[in-house]
Structure 1
């Protein structure tokens, strides 16, 4: 007999016994004039309380759109107090005021400075064990990254969408205008370069650029998972590999008339002008391309000799604080916010899932009025590349913003012809060493 049939039979036996007892006068003060009684026990209402959730960079509207309905339905007795980092309510402010949140949206670049340095970190491993929670449902590189970043093997968070995969965007109208075939999934950098040359031209007095990029994230989120600061040293990690990455990108800006913009942020927006044929950039729900640009996307280009992976910037994480009086409830809420149902809805909005679930991945953008008309499966063409190695937790490091600024700004100078690659990389190495010494002095 199947398990469900056994449960039904057991329930019928219990119900028969209950009726017999009632008929024999066994009920004590609960029977009606007809001799029947209500045997169903009312579930005791759960005590109300407030759960404080803190994030940096996620608006309350976005949080509500994605999670509020789920949380209200599953936890009607809980009041959510949502705090977005801002003036007077940074995590430092909240810790100083002894108003430490229960749940924090952390990320790897600030895991130490925004979470662990305040001694509020909490290992979720025991809760994972207690609730028999399957962490294998997540894409492995995302889970490995936070375990590695914590430095102790502890699980300080679970990966929440979005992560930021790289893709190749193209302007369909320009390709149509010049009679050039659209790019395809699986292209190499060499093929993209040849396409960029075809699309770079002057027509009717207008200069049309074949290629643009966000140079900072294109270099930082590289398929080699190459860090900027050497995790075990004091300067630039592996200058030879960085030289290869610079040379690969630089050739696009050496195409006549494909002149780079004055700084990384302007180059990031060059595609939006409508006169650029191709762009490498993140798929990012916060990346807004004007409606007048008729764009689509294909997979990110790969090097001729591999690897067949997609560069990406990892996700954020839902973390619990060790001061929370509602750790179990916080974990239950996190499970709800990371459920298949929640991530399916996220994926349909265009937010890439952190789950290794192809059924959820393949509906990316289907309910969004813009993404639903695009080749969003380009995002799933390759598996995500491994995360970039970090310095050990507790070791003095150079802030990520400083490292990224050095890479992005220096590349623009190289593309403008102001310095050669070797000089640029040597200067980055020297500046990283100087910045690291400054951080060490601050830490004393």
Structure 2
């Protein structure tokens, strides 16, 4: 099968721990995806496990992106040869939960001497409960934050983002940080060419639902009619409409984000790492990549608000497939990965905001010697984060809405048309979806 052909070489593990029963395979396969630096973090975790588990064997399957991971997992489950474990964001696991393809962990969790439910942030644990069963255990409890280039802010004499700042403050700051090659501020649509060509943009943000949602919530609106059993988007409400309008005006009205052609040539994370983007809205996952930056100093700030502090949950978890033939071995690795030792290791790579409360509050995460210096921002946000709805068709919904929002941001589609398209094109997907 294509899945098996793409397996990485086996990583042999040695250390201490209970031996696998003689009649059960000791080898497990773990499916993950991420940027090169993220994948290296998972290799570090697997290597550390190798020093704690004698005779065990882990094969790390590295997908290139989220779409590749879902395709591989779907194909392997349908073919009867799934990986034993996979790591997936809560927004996408519902399609597999609805097909009964994920093993419930309640029984094993109740008996575990390594991990307990109360060890974890409830916001992350709750995102992986399906019909009163804990299907997966979260490795992180991240949220959306504002990464910013401190060196550029100092160079241009602009005040750095700070707690309590508002959406209007974001626009003002992004405008002040959008500069041409000579360092002059470029305003609005002046950035189309000539001497006004932008050398540094003030802000980078993807035109996707998970970037819009927290601002709708902060403005007192909702993105769907019912969080538990959604049937439609609700961007026709005044609060949601205002937040959406302000978001899609970032490009054509303010000119503070790159054009679609520029993003295609250089994505926002690369533009930030190359010193050509002052601020970037992203989750914790880019930290592993940004820690390779040598040319400037960077940090993180909380999301701006419309008055209410509301963030969006970014959490992924380890899940055991129902079709696994090595569930005991998979559970032992899972225990290690989300237990205190594993969480300290992966937090040290920069990849996660630990879902384990004790580890999150320790120096393993809040290490002042490692950027971001203000990592506490992620912990402060946990109390107010919200998940998007858990529904089996959410991946399809995100794909459809991504195209609509992209056209709105870069092409300037009329807001009424955008809201109508968001509603009409997703209602059938909501209707077809299954919920916990």
**TM-score scaled by length of structure 1:** 0.71
Q: Structure 2 CA distance, aligned partners of 1:46 and 1:210?
A: 54
- Partner residue, 2:212: 219
- Partner residue, 1:345: 345
- Partner residue, 1:165: 143
Question: Is 1:103 matched with 2:85?
Answer: yes
Question: Is 1:175 matched with 2:153?
Answer: yes
- Partner residue, 2:104: 123
Gap runs ≥5 in structure 2? 1-16, 183-194
- Partner residue, 2:12: none
Question: Is 1:300 matched with 2:297?
Answer: no
| Bigger shift: residues 342-351 or 215-224 | 215-224
Q: Structure 2 CA distance, aligned partners of 1:126 and 1:190?
A: 49
Match of 2:417 among 406, 423, 440: 423
**In the superposition, relative to structure 1, how do residues 434 and 294 fare at CA in structure 2: closer, same or farther (>3 Å)?**
same
**In the superposition, relative to structure 1, how do residues 431 and 99 fare at CA in structure 2: closer, same or farther (>3 Å)?**
closer
Question: Is 1:145 matched with 2:106?
Answer: no
Tell me the CA shift for residue 45 of structure 1: 7.0
Contact 1:260 1:412 in 2 (8 A): no
Q: Structure 2 CA distance, aligned partners of 1:141 and 1:318?
A: 16
Question: Is 1:81 matched with 2:59?
Answer: yes
- Partner residue, 2:30: 54
**In the superposition, relative to structure 1, how do residues 401 and 359 fare at CA in structure 2: closer, same or farther (>3 Å)?**
closer
Match of 2:240 among 193, 218, 242: 242
Question: Is 1:156 matched with 2:135?
Answer: yes
Report the number of matched residues. Answer: 381
SS at match of 1:80: strand
Tell me the CA shift for residue 76 of structure 1: 0.6
Q: Structure 2 CA distance, aligned partners of 1:65 and 1:267?
A: 27
- Partner residue, 1:15: none
**In the superposition, relative to structure 1, how do residues 372 and 329 fare at CA in structure 2: closer, same or farther (>3 Å)?**
same
Tell me the CA shift for residue 157 of structure 1: 1.0
SS at match of 1:182: coil
Tell me the CA shift for residue 82 of structure 1: 3.5
- Partner residue, 2:47: 68
Contact 1:320 1:330 in 2 (8 A): yes
Tell me the CA shift for residue 54 of structure 1: 3.0
Q: Write the deviation string for residues 220-273 of structure 1: whole angstroms up to 9, x where unpaired.
A: 455729546966454323432431322343454466553641266667355455
Of structures 1 and 2, the larger Rg is shown by 1
| Bigger shift: residues 317-326 or 423-432 | 317-326
**TM-score scaled by length of structure 2:** 0.73
Tell me the CA shift for residue 104 of structure 1: 3.1
Contact 1:145 1:387 in 2 (8 A): yes
Root mean square deviation of aligned Cα: 3.8
Matches within 5 A, 1:14-413: 49-57=25-33, 61-70=40-49, 72-84=50-62, 90-114=72-96, 116-117=98-99, 119-131=100-112, 133-147=115-129, 150=130, 152-161=131-140, 163-202=141-180, 204=182, 205=195, 207=198, 208-216=200-208, 217-220=210-213, 224=217, 226-227=222-223, 232=229, 234-240=231-237, 241-250=239-248, 252-253=250-251, 257-258=255-256, 260-262=258-260, 268-269=268-269, 270-272=271-273, 274-285=275-286, 288=289, 291=293, 294-307=296-309, 309-315=310-316, 317-324=317-324, 326-351=326-351, 352-357=353-358, 360=361, 363-364=364-365, 366=367, 371-372=370-371, 374-383=373-382, 385-391=385-391, 399-413=396-410
Tell me the CA shift for residue 141 of structure 1: 0.8
**In the superposition, relative to structure 1, how do residues 356 and 69 fare at CA in structure 2: closer, same or farther (>3 Å)?**
closer
Q: Structure 1 CA distance, aligned partners of 2:89 and 2:80?
A: 22
Q: Structure 2 CA distance, aligned partners of 1:408 and 1:272?
A: 25
Tell me the CA shift for residue 387 of structure 1: 1.2
Q: Structure 1 CA distance, aligned partners of 2:85 and 2:360?
A: 29
Q: Which has the higher contact order (CA 8 A, sep 6+)?
A: 2
SS at match of 1:76: coil
